Structure 1
Amino acid sequence: MSEKHLVCQGATYQCQFGTAPDKLKVLTQTKRYTNDGKGAEKLIATHMDIGKTFEKNTFGSCSKMNNNPCQVVVSEWKAFYENVKISENNGNPLLEDSKATCPVGAPDCISIIFHGQTAEISQQNIDNADKQVIAQMLPGFNFDDFDEEEVEHIL
């Protein structure tokens, strides 16, 4: 994948003919998450997420439609990760450079602004952290003095 992020629910996209961004909504699978410790928010998007797959389904005004309201309909995704398949929808994960085609716009007219992933520290990260590195980064702070709930609150 060459250091490309997977795209997940909440990723922000923009059409080159539109005036406003919209957020991707994954509707084709319900089991595979990325960077989401609780498995509740960041479903992995795939090339099977076509049709009306955005939260508002609009990129504002569309210059291809004489500045009338855009009505997003994704007909195809390109540049997805072909080496992995999500079994639930037989889809390949979208990458941060994946582009979508809208029948009104043009091929590859919809591109990503933000992939949707954010760093999230979990108890597993803390358990696996090098104690010497933590001691240098946070002198005087000892994670062992706190339980899991207190650490989540601190972070």
Structure 2
Amino acid sequence: MTVEEVLWPGLWFGDLLFSRAGVRVRAPQHLIDATVATTSTLYFTFRRQSRPTDDLSHGWGSNSQWRTCFSRFYSDEEGLHLNWDGEVDIAVDPPAPRAGWSEHEMEPLHQRQELLLHRCFVHDPLPADENDRYPYGDRLSLTSAEWPFRPESLVHVSSAK
């Protein structure tokens, strides 16, 4: 995968990613399906013109953005830490079920990892329930953000808190 163009810059506060950059990428179709990547629900995002989004601050009324926890994504010398405060480490296979969920209710691990890395689905086939996922409880630490993941790039972090 190659970054072709930066559409808007990202914003970092030290190691903490505050706002992701918007980029145009080029990749073989077996890695990224252009239609899926540009039309699937974009998670951890309040609003994006002409695209469905999902954010924890949706549906809580006028002050919802100010009363919702901030999702923390970091990059440091150890690697990338996606949604640091998530309760379930999805680097392990199989991860522990989310509180109150049975193992049968859990989405496939590779789809959960895809959502944390890209904030959306990028690969075909698009799951029928793609707009009804809950990646906010998951966390993932990586040594590199290569797609698809290499097993050695996944890092198990024993406790995020």
For the criterion TM > 0.5, the same-fold answer is no
Q: Normalising by structure 2, what TM-score?
A: 0.24
Higher Cα Rg, which structure: 1
